[in-house]
Structure 1
Amino acid sequence: MPHIYHSWTRLGLGALMGTTALAGCGQSASTPTPAAESAAVEAPAFAAEALAADPAPVGSVGGEGEGGVAIEQAATDPVVFNIALAVTEAHILAARDAYADGETEAAAEMFAHPVSEVLFDMEPVLEARGVTLFDGLLTDASIAASAGETPEQISARTDAIIAALRAAALKAPDNGTAPAEVKMHVIADMIERAVAMYRSAAASGVYEPYLDGYGFHKVAETQFAAAKDEIAASNPEAAASIGNAIAALAEAYPSAAPQDALMADISQLTVLASDVTLSVN
């Protein structure tokens, strides 16, 4: 496995709650709210089943389940740089919606997950690009979810994190790739991840890969809605294939809550994702 590859896999929340872990991310721990101080913050009891291997998403060097990113390439490649931000955003959106659905432990885990498994490795790249580090926002949101803040408060924290991600995206490296092309490749990557995680969730019956995939779908949906006209003007075929895939994923992922059964046609989802990949390349 190339040394530049980091697989973004499972992360226990408990490892993120201490000041040592926070200091390792280059940021001091924020003072928790009284509610957070009194809360018993423990790692959620997610199942630890290994996920089935899947082809590597666009921009990655290989991967399983969620996939990974060639971190060193993020310093010069705007697609890889923005994929890292999109993976973070996927977890944040999944956390927000899971919390609204009453899945408190899952939400806390999803907020915490990118801090160590994504942002820690990206820290040198972000700092070199002049990005103000924002891992503390995610850790605070994780603590707040465990402490029982209202869904409205959690949503506000989510908005703040997304604003930080948008600010970071403005400082992505420029290697001459057209903005529309960058966006369609990032969306294609999120679609591939969403399909891969649905396949894993259907095979294992475990909630966590479903929630991961839900987040990847929501990022693809959100980013495509914002860039649809730009992508269509640049590559009409890609816009059409992306739209088809996102529509199918919306049916596969009706909500962030655990599903009684996963009934989507995985073969169809796979074909739609492949159509996207072929159209953007």
Structure 2
Amino acid sequence: MADLSIRKLSPVLGAEVLNVSLTELLDDSTFEAIQKAWYENVALVFRNQSLSAADLVAFSSRFGQLDIAPPNENGRCFVEGFEEILVISNVVENGVAIGSLGSKEIPWHTDMSYTEVPPLGITLYGFEVPAPDGGKTEFVNMYQAFETLSDELKQKVEGLSIKHDSSINAAGYLRLGSDPVIDVVTCPGAIHPIVRTHPVTGRQVLYLGRRRNAYICGLPVQESEELLDALWDHCTQSQLKWHHHWQPGDLLLWDNFCTIHRRDQFDPNSRRILYRTQFRPKLPQLQERAAETATAVK
């Protein structure tokens, strides 16, 4: 714990955790310092890690209950023996994609917002990343997106909810067994309030999920589209963004409740393999942390 330090990477969000090896079992005080930094900075970077699949699962599971890797356009791509780890990759071996999402650009989104209870946190580890340019992942702080929203827009969204389309994934691929969306009013997907309260910090966030096929329930479609466009124009302003340039051995940890993220397209001829986990806090853990964290972060 004595050598651990946190270096802010931008005024908006993002911090680097220095002098820690995630291959080692972290003592409680070190883990609590990391967790506090995560809630305060929304996204954390751990550089120069050499993690096995078991290391990634062990670290991620300290934050909460890990989910099994969700299905994607190529089926269920997980690390053998570790069903909690989703493989995100453009690599094709023997004609078969080893992971999901390929190398194309992925637009702004919150992971799995189309489900009733999306994961609270995500880890993404650079298992194999091309040098010197491993690609870029960009984030928006949705706490600040809500806090800087005009009074007019705050009034317009009060009490409204968005239906989050479940038919396509973040990269725009149609999910296995899903039909193309013809009418956003009737498309499948979970419904979430536009303004939500973070379950741990107690802070309000603008919760948009993703733009494609979104629908604000109860509004005429054209009015829904116009209001969604205004909200997305606001939250993707440069002053709310931070980006991470991938290097080999990077681990990213971000709060999936209060962020949206996107990635640039990268060279399809390069090899990039990322390991991803998602977690949700166990109820006792959530109850224990909520009060103290809300006080510290506000």
TM-score range (shorter-chain normalised) is: under 0.3
Q: Which has the higher strand share?
A: 2
Q: TM-score normalised to the size of structure 1?
A: 0.27
Q: Which has the higher helix share?
A: 1
Higher RCO (C-alpha under 8 Å, 6+ residues apart): 2
